[in-house]
Amino acid sequence: MKNKAHHKGRMTRLVFVMAILITGLPPVISGQANSSSLAVKRTATLMGSKFDITIVAKDSITAQRLIDSAIEEISRIESLISEWKSNSEVSMVNRNAGIKPVKVSKELFDLTKRALNYSLMSRGAFDISFASLNKVWRFDGSITTIPSKEEVLKSIEKVGFQHIILDSLESTIYLQLSGMKIGFGSIGKGYAADKAMELMRKKGVKAGIINAAGDMQTWGVQPNGKQWTVGLTNPFKKRKTIKKLNLSDMAITTSGSYEHFIELNGVRYSHIINPVTGYPVTGLASVTILGPNAEICNAISTSVMVMGLKQGLSLIGQFPGYQYIIITDKGKMYKNKGQHF
């Protein structure tokens, strides 16, 4: 039986995002068209991933102070939604699964409410209770046979967004099943990018780009007057790009299967698991979504990877103003017509 595996470190989120590269951006870019401003970039490890934060400011000292504020905001969000931090609100919800509802902040309540809406729209392809999945699929090269049907069904016993109960009057979240967990790995970084950009704009930052491990939010233009240039990685040749985009006031995210997968009997199985069936998804290599909100881009790209091409295109149609590039396992590309694609 043929067995081929690709593995790069520990998976920390539901979907590994294909690398999206900012081209031509050294740590500090001197102003050209506007000599009174410059772009300053800093890289930091946040939410367990690499974040690149670039903003345009009048001087580097001001820029560094503003980047500090952006990092503080992202760290605040991590402390709120991280399932790995024992004192986070999400961890408190998880600890009380099957026991009692937990009162949470309006921010977490609203984020969870939106997540449940994504689940409804995608018919369960998107599901934050995926955090309670019992992993029976291994992508470290050790798997040689497909897990039994019984093993797969048991692995998703605690998964099911319909068991997440919200009480808007009390602002509580209750997980009905003991051992159930929620996690925001699928939209958390996009949400953090949105919130960091929102904070920067409130502080008067006219332009910048938040690259949250490939989930991006952009606004304004570079000091030379040009838009931000983003390269989309080829899922079959990761050091190559399939397209370069010039973006401003736009978010972009990519979900892909090429980072972790196995091949058994000639079939390629992605590390992305369908939360409804418990089986790895097949058919698509990558899904790139472009639109005004990074959180929504995250939710769509994650869902489409699970739903597949036909149902995925139907889902995207429910989000006017969002564009897509979908690449199948066979290398065929689908995209909608728009300003960027």
Which of 129-143, 243-257, 261-275 is the least confident region? 261-275
Alpha helices in 156-230 (DSSP H): 188-202
pLDDT-derived band at 341, boundaries 50, 70, 90: low
Backbone angles phi, psi at 69, to 5 degrees: -65, -40
Question: In 210-220, which positions are buried (b, 16+ CB within 10 angstroms) versus exposed (e)?
Answer: bbbbbbbbbbb
Residue 141 region, left (φ>0) first, then alpha (ψ -120 to 50), else beta?
A: left
CATH of range 3-81+188-335; options 3.10.520.10, 1.25.40.10, 3.10.129.10, 3.90.110.10: 3.10.520.10
3-state secondary structure of 320: coil
> Which pLDDT score is estimated for 24?
36
d(CA 150, CA 229): 48
The CATH code of the domain at 89-175 is 1.10.3980.10
Pairing relationship of beta strands 38-46 and 284-291 according to DSSP bridges: unpaired
Q: What is the pTM of this model?
A: 0.88
Q: How far apart are CA 22 and CA 245, in angstroms?
A: 10
DSSP secondary structure letter of residue 140: S
Start-end of CATH 1.10.3980.10 domains in the chain = 89-175
Average pLDDT for residues 74-85, to the nearest whole number? 96
Q: Is the pLDDT of residue 167 over 60?
A: yes
Separation CA 69–CA 48 (nearest Å): 19
Enumerate the CATH 3.10.520.10 domain ranges in the chain, comma separated: 3-81+188-335
First-residue to last-residue Cα distance in the chain: 41
Binding-site residues, please? 186, 302
Binding-site residues for Mg(2+), please?
186, 302
